[in-house]
A and B are shown apart, each in its own frame.
Chain A
Amino acid sequence: MRILVVEDDKDVAGFILKGLREAGHLAEHTANGRDGLLAATSQEFDAIILDRMLPGGIDGLGVLEMLRAQGNHTPVMFLSAMAQVDDRVRGLKAGGDDYLTKPFAFSELLARVEALARRGRAAGPETRLQVGDLEMDLLSRSVRRRTQKIDLQPREFMLLEYLMRHAGQVVTRTMLLEGVWDYHFDPQTNVIDVHVSRLRQKIDKPFETALLHTVRSAGYMLRAD
């Protein structure tokens, strides 16, 4: 995927670019708002990682607003040290698709930006999701693996739906907390792990191949090998 990184801190930018390229993406970098806007409007990107406080007369919010005003809907993830709740709300209101605060873990950034870029490509509403031999019917809200029907609680269904929509991608605990429960804080208790392991009991335990994998120090991934 082609990803644009607009970040003025050289070390942070270098770290992100290296990580993105290692993960197999094409990453471009600009160090100020003006160049960032120029790059974003003159080239096609799958996602943009945008710092909020930028030199060059135009800050991250300004870049995003101008981009959206031009009808450009490339998914944008803010990456900012401005961590107050209102900052986050302002960023999302201006048209940002995600908001990650500094300092950040690279695994979190990668998982989120990949999810964003994928979402940008998704076409139309789906009624059926499939990962390997696991199938989910969104209309009848039923799940089956091979021929066997699997009964899920409503919240487990939402959790599995989220994982299936992000199949093949790393999904972090924070993403699950935000995407499935709509919580924007980090509980100290390992609440997410417990829910995922319960889901795993239902969709993986009775079968010989596992679909739901734990990715060390990052999160989870649902994939058919």
Chain B
Amino acid sequence: MVARVLRSAGVRLALGYALVFGISAAMLILVLWISGINILTRQVDAAIDADEQGLAEQWKQGGPEALFETIQSRIASNADNDSIYLVLDPKGDVVAGNLDSWPDQVSKTGQVYEISVNRNGKLNQARFHRYDLPAGYALLVGREVSSRVALRTLLAEVLAWSMVLIGLLSVAGAILLKKLFGRMVSQVSQTADAISSGDLTRRVAISGRGDEFDRMAETINDMLDRLNRLMDGVRQVSNAIAHDLRTPITRARARLEDASMHAGSAEQLRSAIDRAVSDLDGITNVFHALLRISEIEAGARRSAFVRLDLRPLLDDLRDLYGAAAEERGLSLTLSAPAELPALGDRELIQQAVANLLDNAIKFSPRQKSVEIVVEQTADTMMLAVRDHGAGIPVGDVSRATERFFRGEAARNTPGFGLGLTLVRAVAQLHGGTLELQDANPGLRATLVLPRASELRAGRGASPRAEAEGGTLASAEG
């Protein structure tokens, strides 16, 4: 039973609170006790001192008789009966006072003794001071400190009551917390149950109070949204594989079967097989591109982010593609600032720009130009590849980056419709976007990337990249 109750996180939390509160209440009372005692002791000592001063004055003015009289009257007027006086004559006999005998411990002057004395048949704690009077008389002045006992009783009572109160409050807190926990957990587990039984649209309800539970619910919902998007991606890919790979596989299969049935010579057979092999290579390329895209979309490549200058990277690509462009009567120009610091994956940026150049060269009419233009603003870098071809019809722009989408104009050119999908995935991995605009005529495909300094703080940066950003920032500063 106890174990079952303790298994509730709410009860454990409330008990923990009760323990912490109990300990702090006890500490508080201990502090009160110690400082209260201090004040009382100081008051008692001051009273003893004042008493002694007065008595010494009496002796000076009226001699022993006056002293004894004053002591008698003080004892009489002391309602609490807590003052103790005792005078010894030079022979050591008691001559005045309300104590039976001189306590042995009190031997020296100038010192306060705290001892137990027997008065009226009761043992009481009292503080004493000894004074030596002229002519061999000795005076003992003391105060009982029984009020300390009263204080202790009071504080103990306070402590007991507060413990009861803390106990009640923590039980109430435990019930409340248990309810609150229970509600939150049951909402989350209901949502999880609904999702695992197939209802992927269910989300954790948000109360709107903006409290920790709401934040947790939002985090869970964000996670579910992200999972949903990834699953959509997987579904898209499997659909795409099912439909779009069927075509080249069908073609390769038909070629092989046709050759097997109809080839008249070894030569014909070989050429059919060669073409089927190249069809298979095409399918392999599609697989490779699809895997690459999902690898990038999953964000797995962010670990390869480094600081790099895009300018030499673009110069190299211009050099690589320039010759092929010239071969087709195209001119490939690059206009960009002398330095383009960026944070990213070198290989992926190369491939993204290469894909844009492949497209631009493929769709450009002869004797025109393909332009790479890089512009920077304070927080973004825009890397545009522009051709003078037919462009993408307005209606197709939004679908142009979908897997396997091929516009009407592209139907008769080689390719699989994965190039722009990869470029978009690379852009998103770097915290940017791919924008496709009608350059009238032609297409302007722009990679909009956050500047290196932006990316450092942005969500696109990996811990490693942030560390590198940090060292660079300190080098700059």
Chain A residues engaging chain B, CB cutoff 8 angstroms: 83-86, 101, 103, 105, 155, 181, 183-191, 194-195, 198, 217
Is B414 within 8 A of A188, CB to CB?
yes
Is B323 within 8 A of A85, CB to CB?
no
Given contacts A185-B350, A195-B320, list 18 more A-B pairs with CB under 8 A: A84-B295, A84-B300, A181-B320, A183-B350, A184-B347, A185-B347, A185-B351, A186-B285, A187-B358, A188-B362, A188-B415, A189-B321, A189-B361, A190-B324, A191-B321, A194-B324, A194-B327, A195-B323
Q: Is the interface of A mostly helix, strand, loop or mixed?
A: loop
- Once A186-B285, A189-B361 are accepted as A-B contacts, the answer to whether A84 and B291 lie under 8 Å apart by CB is yes
* Complex: A85 Cα to B323 Cα, angstroms: 28
Q: What is the interface residue range for chain B against chain A? A: 20 to 34
Is B280 within 8 A of A103, CB to CB?
yes
B222 close to A (CB within 8 Å): no
- Once A186-B285, A188-B414, A188-B415 are accepted as A-B contacts, the answer to whether A155 and B319 lie under 8 Å apart by CB is yes
* Complex: A105 Cα to B419 Cα, angstroms: 23
Is B301 within 8 A of A189, CB to CB?
no
Is B288 within 8 A of A83, CB to CB?
yes
Is A191 within 8 A of B285, CB to CB?
no
* Complex: A86 Cα to B302 Cα, angstroms: 11
Instruction: Give chain B residues whose Cβ lies under 8 Å from the Cβ of A101.
Output: 288
* Complex: A185 Cα to B281 Cα, angstroms: 15
Counting residue pairs across A and B whose Cβ atoms lie within 8 Å, the total is 58
Interchain residue pairs A-B with the least CB separation, the first 6? A194-B323, A188-B358, A194-B324, A185-B351, A191-B324, A189-B324
Is A83 within 8 A of B324, CB to CB?
no
Instruction: Give chain A residues whose Cβ lies under 8 Å from the Cβ of B323.
Output: 191, 194-195, 198
Instruction: Give chain A residues whose Cβ lies under 8 Å from the Cβ of B350.
Output: 183, 185
Is B304 within 8 A of A85, CB to CB?
yes
Instruction: Give chain A residues whose Cβ lies under 8 Å from the Cβ of B284.
Output: 103
Is B304 within 8 A of A189, CB to CB?
no
Minimal beta-carbon separation of B53 from chain A (angstroms): 92
> What are 23 A-B residue pairs whose CB atoms fall within 8 Å in the complex?
A84-B291, A84-B295, A84-B300, A85-B292, A85-B295, A85-B347, A103-B281, A103-B284, A183-B347, A185-B350, A185-B354, A187-B357, A188-B358, A188-B414, A188-B415, A189-B361, A189-B362, A191-B321, A191-B323, A194-B323, A194-B324, A194-B326, A217-B274
Instruction: Give chain B residues whose Cβ lies under 8 Å from the Cβ of A183.
Output: 320, 347, 350, 354
Instruction: Give chain B residues whose Cβ lies under 8 Å from the Cβ of A194.
Output: 323-324, 326-327
Is A181 within 8 A of B316, CB to CB?
yes
Minimal beta-carbon separation of A88 from chain B (angstroms): 10
Instruction: Give chain B residues whose Cβ lies under 8 Å from the Cβ of A184.
Output: 347
Q: Is the interface of B mostly helix, strand, loop or mixed?
A: helix
Minimal beta-carbon separation of A14 from chain B (angstroms): 17
Minimal beta-carbon separation of A1 from chain B (angstroms): 26
> Which chain B residue shows the least CB distance to A187?
B354
> Which chain A residue shows the least CB distance to B304?
A85
Is B361 within 8 A of A86, CB to CB?
no
* Complex: A133 Cα to B357 Cα, angstroms: 38
Instruction: Give chain B residues whose Cβ lies under 8 Å from the Cβ of A217.
Output: 274
* Complex: A101 Cα to B253 Cα, angstroms: 23
> Which chain A residue shows the least CB distance to B327?
A194
Instruction: Give chain A residues whose Cβ lies under 8 Å from the Cβ of B324.
Output: 189-191, 194
* Complex: A86 Cα to B295 Cα, angstroms: 10
* Complex: A188 Cα to B323 Cα, angstroms: 14
Is A191 within 8 A of B300, CB to CB?
no
Instruction: Give chain B residues whose Cβ lies under 8 Å from the Cβ of A83.
Output: 288, 291
Most buried by B among A84, A86, A181, A185: A185
* Complex: A198 Cα to B323 Cα, angstroms: 8
* Complex: A51 Cα to B424 Cα, angstroms: 33
Instruction: Give chain A residues whose Cβ lies under 8 Å from the Cβ of B362.
Output: 188-189
* Complex: A191 Cα to B350 Cα, angstroms: 14
* Complex: A183 Cα to B317 Cα, angstroms: 10
Minimal beta-carbon separation of A94 from chain B (angstroms): 17
Is B288 within 8 A of A189, CB to CB?
no
Instruction: Give chain B residues whose Cβ lies under 8 Å from the Cβ of A189.
Output: 321, 324, 357-358, 361-362
> Which chain B residue shows the least CB distance to A188?
B358
- Once A185-B354, A187-B358, A189-B358 are accepted as A-B contacts, the answer to whether A85 and B301 lie under 8 Å apart by CB is yes
* Complex: A101 Cα to B292 Cα, angstroms: 13
Instruction: Give chain A residues whose Cβ lies under 8 Å from the Cβ of B419.
Output: 188
Minimal beta-carbon separation of A90 from chain B (angstroms): 12
Contact with A along B350-383 (1 / 0, CB 8 A): 1100100110011000000000000000000000
* Complex: A83 Cα to B294 Cα, angstroms: 13
Most buried by A among B285, B301, B350: B350
Minimal beta-carbon separation of B417 from chain A (angstroms): 12
Instruction: Give chain A residues whose Cβ lies under 8 Å from the Cβ of B316.
Output: 181
Give residues of chain B (250-291) contacting chain A, Cβ–Cβ below 8 Å: 274, 280-281, 284-285, 288, 291
* Complex: A183 Cα to B284 Cα, angstroms: 19
* Complex: A211 Cα to B358 Cα, angstroms: 30
Instruction: Give chain A residues whose Cβ lies under 8 Å from the Cβ of B357.
Output: 187, 189
* Complex: A84 Cα to B288 Cα, angstroms: 9
Instruction: Give chain B residues whose Cβ lies under 8 Å from the Cβ of A191.
Output: 320-321, 323-324
* Complex: A56 Cα to B263 Cα, angstroms: 44
> Which chain A residue shows the least CB distance to B321?
A191
Minimal beta-carbon separation of B273 from chain A (angstroms): 12
Contact with A along B383-423 (1 / 0, CB 8 A): 00000000000000000000000000000001100010000
Minimal beta-carbon separation of A114 from chain B (angstroms): 21
Instruction: Give chain B residues whose Cβ lies under 8 Å from the Cβ of A103.
Output: 280-281, 284
> Which chain B residue shows the least CB distance to A185?
B351
Instruction: Give chain B residues whose Cβ lies under 8 Å from the Cβ of A198.
Output: 323
* Complex: A29 Cα to B300 Cα, angstroms: 36
Instruction: Give chain A residues whose Cβ lies under 8 Å from the Cβ of B320.
Output: 181, 183, 187, 191, 195
Instruction: Give chain A residues whose Cβ lies under 8 Å from the Cβ of B295.
Output: 84-85
> Which chain A residue shows the least CB distance to B350?
A183
Minimal beta-carbon separation of A215 from chain B (angstroms): 15
Minimal beta-carbon separation of A104 from chain B (angstroms): 9
